[in-house]
A and B are shown apart, each in its own frame.
Chain A
């Protein structure tokens, strides 16, 4: 029996678990540090539970035993540890991205995965993930790629019972990193690092999103697309609302998302880590009716041609477009639809049409120059 493991049952892990419960009728194992906290979910979804703690790499290989693919849904700082454990336990590996720097390090494990006859796919959520596959799809219509521009816009039409003072659609730790690490952009064939929160300018997304202000953000697409698709220029921008940016900017400007250590009494703490923990304790947003819309736009251009690819999700929670792809790809691996061995970014290994077809089944639609193609 082919088995898929989900490592980490946080907000993304739970979406992956839901998709697997709905679409995969073989064995699923939840790998969690706090086993009790996932008991109800496992019972509901008929999944098995195993103890696994990413901060204790030695325990991981044992936990991965007899699992065919592990989907790593814990924070990206653990990506390398989890990959190394997969090499030991002979398990295929999938993750949600490595925020450029981790991805670069992860790609270096290619030979070892190949040697062990294993597949590792890095960054297969919405972005990175759907973005990379859309860029690959567009590239087939162009001879020489001049630029790839990725822009993400989002609008929330939900009603809420309670709104958190800092509502974030993904991990607060990742957001603090994105707002403090210098974003990489690929300009005229060279990597350049720019200031965090820079490049923020108005951009009109298709309705119902409309005008937004995407900004440069460190992302792993820049670590692979310039090389895999031989693009001369690659950039990534994501839009956050003004109020959200103001709050994170305030924290940044006043030293709260620094990577420095600070002494308080006799103890020393990492500033960013403490800030993230404080923000995690804020009252949570409690939805009444979720109605969100996200458009992930990839503009791929050659000298005389431009292809605009959009992935659109609307009327539900946009987190789904990050949680669904790893479930689809894990199933493709266990079903023998993805067979290449080594470490790959999504654009180098995923068959675009098959992937888009699976996305459409989950109401995530792909558009090429405004025309739906899945």
Chain B
């Protein structure tokens, strides 16, 4: 590791994955120095062309070693883009090494576990900002923006929908997250109480901004948990998360799961234990985006409540399209770029909250939306562009 005499602005854990790659590139493009951490150096070749980037082998299973690399990096902030099952280990490494922490979310079970570290982070005067991608992330900040305009909030719907101009299957995001989302019975907030519902239950076909009408499915997501935490005092009683996949993508994901390719139960191949999901991830990574392939994604929220005693509904959309220079990442840039923006805001002291927090509590919406605009990611309030 070549970090001994080098001070980095940021450490990106899981820089070798797609979101890690995007957030690292965004940080580097913004002029910062980044220590790229992961297990496979060949996956950050593109980033190592930047002068301010270096690679360090990091296995998050080893907390002590990770902490020592974090400490010697000289960075103040760790951006965790690794698989969500590594979130606790990454947080522990940050606590040992004294770094602020950001991640892309832990769905429901992991997020609840992560909040148990609140005191530990507060004690060390550190921030741990959970769920800083597109959703959770942009969605939470939009909700906070909308809720702030209401005296009373009753119902929040939140979700995403995306599509591509060429109907070829491209893995939309981490297969591990997708399998978890589509197979785990989600919690919804129903009349003020958490209620379990059936995994991937149909939520109807909806229209979206920039994306044609699509079927939506109720999936497990951390927003249900954090919205209750932060907006219950405003009267919030109902939260539903709705995921929209284009038919050509959902069909493949659904079949792969039904055919056992999402299983985490190891099988023996020539005497070697192999988890089908690890195999599936590697096979799907080999599928390249075709020439001229373009995606559009809409991260959307609908907030129902009251303002000045009158019923009020605010609909917001954050629309991203495949960007020039970022074609290899499709619409996934909104996730990696968001965590990069929030990390930079934390670095500039625009995010001050200590302990475990979430974007809807800690991230001021105006500067965040401005940064999205710089990256051609546009935010709409009731169909009107606001950034």
Contacts and interface: CB of A to CB of B under 8 A. Distances in A.
Whether chains A and B associate is yes
Given A277-B267, A278-B267, A278-B276, A263 B282 contact: yes
Size category of the A interface is 20 to 34
Contacts of B270: 269
B284 interface: yes
Interface string A247-266: 10011011110000011110
Interface in B245-289: 251-252, 255-256, 258-261, 263, 265, 267, 269-270, 272, 274, 276, 278-279, 282-284, 286-287
Contacts of A281: 260, 263, 265, 267
B274 A255 contact: no
Interface residues of B, number: 24
A373 interface: no
Contacts of A265: 278
Interface string A270-305: 010111011101100000000000000000000000
A267 interface: yes
A267 B272 contact: yes
Contacts of B265: 281
B252 A254 contact: yes
Contacts of B194: none
B255 A278 contact: no
B169 interface: yes
A166 interface: yes
A247 B252 contact: no
A278 B287 CA distance: 20
A250 B260 contact: no
B279 A255 contact: no
Contact of B259 (A267, A269, A271, A282): A282
Contact of B255 (A250, A271, A273, A275): A250
Contacts of B283: 254-256, 262, 271
A278 B269 CA distance: 10
B221 to A, nearest CB: 26
A247 B259 CA distance: 9
Interface string B106-132: 000000000000000000000000000
Interface string B145-172: 0000000000000000000000001000
A165 interface: yes
Task: Name the residue among B259, B260, B261, B284 with the largest chain A CB count within 10 angstroms.
Answer: B259
B259 A253 contact: no
Given A254-B252, A262-B279, A263-B282, A279 B169 contact: no
Interface in A153-197: 165-166
Contacts of B269: 269, 273-274, 277
Given A165-B258, A279-B259, A281-B260, A253 B274 contact: no
Contacts of A256: 261, 283
A175 to B, nearest CB: 13
A251 B259 CA distance: 10
Contacts of B276: 274, 278
Interface string B305-319: 000000000000000
Nearest to B279: A274
Contacts of A165: 258-260
B263 A278 contact: yes
Give the 8 A-B residue pairs with the shortest CB-CB distance, closest first: A165-B258, A278-B276, A278-B260, A255-B283, A250-B255, A274-B279, A267-B272, A282-B260
7 contacts: A250-B251, A254-B169, A265-B278, A269-B270, A274-B274, A278-B279, A281-B267
Interface of B: 169, 251-252, 255-256, 258-261, 263, 265, 267, 269-270, 272, 274, 276, 278-279, 282-284, 286-287
